[in-house]
Every structure is written in structure tokens, then in C-alpha cells.
Amino acid sequence: MLRIRTEWPLRMGCGGVNLYAGFFLLTDPTRFYKYVPGWLSHGAEAVASVDVYLRLQGIGELMIALGLLGWFVPRWCVRVASALLTVEMMLILLCVGVDAVTFRNVGLLGAALSLLISSSQDMREQATQWTPGERFLTHL
């Protein structure tokens, strides 16, 4: 029987959220103006613009999505992507506070932290539990 590793639903969920957000941050950053705190908006305007900041954020979100959704990426990419997502969600919760999407951020923080822990486990230990035919999935 084929075993699906429990981290795959976490990778798909977190990666999907980042893919969606990254796409719209790049293509329509005005959607996200209401989520940028005033102090960050003023800082972004001093350097370039809020649009530039949001588009850079979009690139980061897409890179996290690739690290989570890419079945072909090495394990260290999954660890880096989940660590970045964990830090991002923690910073949003600490710096932005409670707003209309706080519930989503808390859920993503928990999922990203779980994924970080899961992706950091020793793969050799997990691989010994699987049949040789399933062993090729260990890189996923």
C-alpha cells in the first residue's frame, strides 16, 4: 500500500496560499494596501513605494510556494521555505496585530511550524520504515 507522507497536505495548503498571495501581490498589489500598517507604508515610501515593497513580497511568496509545492526540490528547500513562512507569519502577528486575516495567519503559523519540524526529521530514519518500492518518495 502506498503511504502518503503527512507533510504533503501541509505543503499543498501552505504552498497554495503562498502561490495565490504571491500571484496577486505581483499582478495587483493595490488589493493588499489595507493590510500594510501605516508605519511600514511610510518606510516603504521613503525607500521606493508600497507597490515595490508588495511586489518584492510577492516574489518572496512565490519562492516559498515553489519550495513547498515542488516535488522535485531537495529536502533543504522544504526546510528553508517552511522556516521562512514560519518567520513571516510570526512577524506579521507580532508587527501587524489583530486584523481581518489574523485567523488565517495563526493557522498558517501552526501549519508552517509543523512542516518545519516534519521536514527537519532525519530522512534515513523514515526511509527504513518504507518498502523499497516506496523509497523513491523519500525525496519528496
Mean pLDDT of 29-48: 85
Query: What are the pLDDT digits (tens) for 82-128?
Result: 999 999 999 999 988 788 888 889 999 999 999 999 888 755 455 55
Longest CA–CA separation in the chain, Å:
58
pLDDT digits (tens, 9 = 90+) for 47-90: 888 888 999 999 999 999 999 999 899 989 999 999 999 999 99
Residue with cell 518606510: 43
